[in-house]
Amino acid sequence: MADGVTTEERVTVSQVMDRIPVGRFHRRLLAICGSAWAFDGMEVIIISFTLPVLISAWGLSGLSAGLLGSASLMGMIAGNWAWGWYADEHGRKDAFQWTVLTYSLFAGLTAFATGFYSGFALRFLTGVGLGGALAVDTSYLSEHLPTERRGRYLVYLDAFWPLGNVLAVVLSWLFLSALSTGGTVAVPVLGAVAGWRLLFASAAFPALLVFVIRSQLRETPYYLAQTGDVEGANDRIRAIAEENGEEFTPITAESVETGDSAGYARLFETDLRKRTVMIAAAWFAVNFGYYGVFIWLPDTVGAAGVVESFSVGGATIEGLYVYFLLIGLVQFPGYFSAAYLVEKIGRKPTLGGYLVLSGIFTFVFAASMPGVSLFGAGFSGFWPFFGGLLAASFFTLGAWGAIYAYTPELFPTEVRGTGNGFAGGVGKIGAVVGPILAGALVEVGYLAALAPLAVAFVLGGLVVLAFGRETMGEPLF
């Protein structure tokens, strides 16, 4: 008997966690995990604003610029695979804090880059931390949520991403435009400093979040139980229940299947192989399409001829920042709609449908670019382009939210981090290839560059709809 519960009852972690309704603890946890997520989004998108400056400052060729723009994405492949496995071997919390520290440290050090090689190395190492944080953050949060709200809260987590994008837009405007004179910013004591260096230096401040993670977070009860620490798992569950003002029910040792991390081979055993391949294909599609579009978006918007300056309170703001801000803002309703639908109609139809719609609207704004007369002159111009772009942004980010809700539920506890990391790593291969392919094809035309991205979205959605397995309402296992 353990605290009045007989061994015959065999109370599992998922049963106990489902008895604790969403409350203060979960909202606090979402704020912490979401902050790390927002900073992740900020670090990724900053290169879109600094790349044109670095091309000029370092005399980069088109190939070098493409490699530099994709460096952090390359690092994210290694980060997803390595840190996901590390989280299963050594714990979610430990991996979480180290990944946040890694991407913050190397993002800040990029301010001291002197050319392509040092810039590439530092951006790659930043990506190692970024990819790891994405894999670990979802595993950590998912293992603290009740089944009935898990999907919605994981989409809420991904909704912090556009907050990071908006923060990147604001910081980029501040250091590259508002405070900059001839590309430099006057800093007391230091004198004139290149604005892009100050922008990267400011990107180091998320390191402060590590102190919050160390002081406020503990290991997940699922991981503790999996490693045989039943007492530790019960202590963790007790603390969660008390913070939410709920009664504590302990798990029983007899209900826990303990063991070491099963590693990557487990992902391809008979019971998991189909879902591993399916979700990896979906990850490839959403990364290929999203990064192919968004890494080159400043160039695409400029080519569409819609970049103008705006006067706000007497200050002139370059149109590019305004458009990026609007694109970021429309992503929030995309996330919230996905958060509603994953719990209403399920993970599979939401993810599959949003991917298909992402592809359709990517094709719409590509077909309305200047010089493209695919549907006639009436289909070109500002509103078809901008409307299609906003709709593509809406559905693409909704798909991101759905895929992060779906992925952790497909894998058992012993390989949840590894599964998240593997799928995310395959996705980041697409994230590297997408921008490079789009950059190579843009010389042929913007429709030629964007059409493969649209096709990838649609194919990824069809794979999910055809081969996906619905997990709505199922407990973690």
pLDDT tens, position by position, 219-229: 999 999 988 89
Type and span of the H or E element at 172:
helix 161-173
Instruction: Report DSSP state, residue 5.
Output: B
Determine the Cα–Cα distance for residues 321 and 301; give it in Å rounded to an integer. Answer: 11
What's the CA dihedral at 371, 376, 378, 379 to 10 degrees? -70
Determine the Cα–Cα distance for residues 372 and 446; give it in Å rounded to an integer. Answer: 8
Determine the Cα–Cα distance for residues 90 and 385; give it in Å rounded to an integer. Answer: 48
Read out DSSP for 58-103? HT--HHHHHHHHHHHHHHHHHHHHHHHHHHHHH-HHHHHHHHHHHH
What is the domain partition of the chain in residue ranges?
7-250+262-467
Dihedrals phi, psi of 26, to nearest 5 degrees: -65, -40
Strands 191-194 and 184-187 come out as antiparallel
What's the CA dihedral at 5, 6, 8, 14 to 10 degrees? 20
Closest of 207, 199, 205 to residue 175, by C-alpha: 199
Read out DSSP for 390-452? HHHHHHHHHHHHHHHHHGGGGS-GGGHHHHHHHHHHHHHHHHHHHHHHHHHHTTT-HHHHHHH
Type and span of the H or E element at 13:
helix 13-18
For residue 4, the model assigns a pLDDT of 47
Determine the Cα–Cα distance for residues 180 and 108; give it in Å rounded to an integer. Answer: 19
For residue 1, the model assigns a pLDDT of 40
Read out DSSP for 209-220? HHHHHHHH----
Type and span of the H or E element at 463:
helix 446-467
Which residues are registered as beta bridge partners of 312? 315
Closest of 168, 302, 215, 284 to residue 32, by C-alpha: 215
Determine the Cα–Cα distance for residues 428 and 425; give it in Å rounded to an integer. Answer: 5
Q: Look at the chain and count its residues.
A: 477
For residue 306, the model assigns a pLDDT of 53
Instruction: Report DSSP state, residue 252.
Output: -
For residue 259, the model assigns a pLDDT of 56
For residue 398, the model assigns a pLDDT of 93
Three-class HEC string of 106-158: HHHHHHHCCCHHHHHHHHHHHHHHHHHHHHHHHHHHHCCCCHHHHHHHHHHHH
Determine the Cα–Cα distance for residues 346 and 269; give it in Å rounded to an integer. Answer: 25
SS3 category, 312 = strand
For residue 313, the model assigns a pLDDT of 43
| Alpha helices in 217-318, H assignment, sequence order | 221-226, 230-243, 273-294, 297-303
Amino acid 222 reads: Y
For residue 316, the model assigns a pLDDT of 42
Residue 349's Cβ-side half-sphere holds a number of Cα atoms within 13 Å equal to 9
Instruction: Tell me how far apart the terminal alpha carbons of the chain are, to the nearest angstrom.
Output: 24
Closest of 293, 447, 458 to residue 372, by C-alpha: 447
Spans in the chain with pLDDT lower than 50: 1-7, 309-317
SS3 category, 245 = coil
Question: Two tokens at 294?
Answer: 């968004």
CA distances from 271 to 142, 274, 276, 346, 394 (A): 21, 7, 10, 21, 34
Determine the Cα–Cα distance for residues 30 and 398; give it in Å rounded to an integer. Answer: 18
Q: Is the pTM of this model over 0.85?
A: no
Class of domain 7-250+262-467: mainly alpha
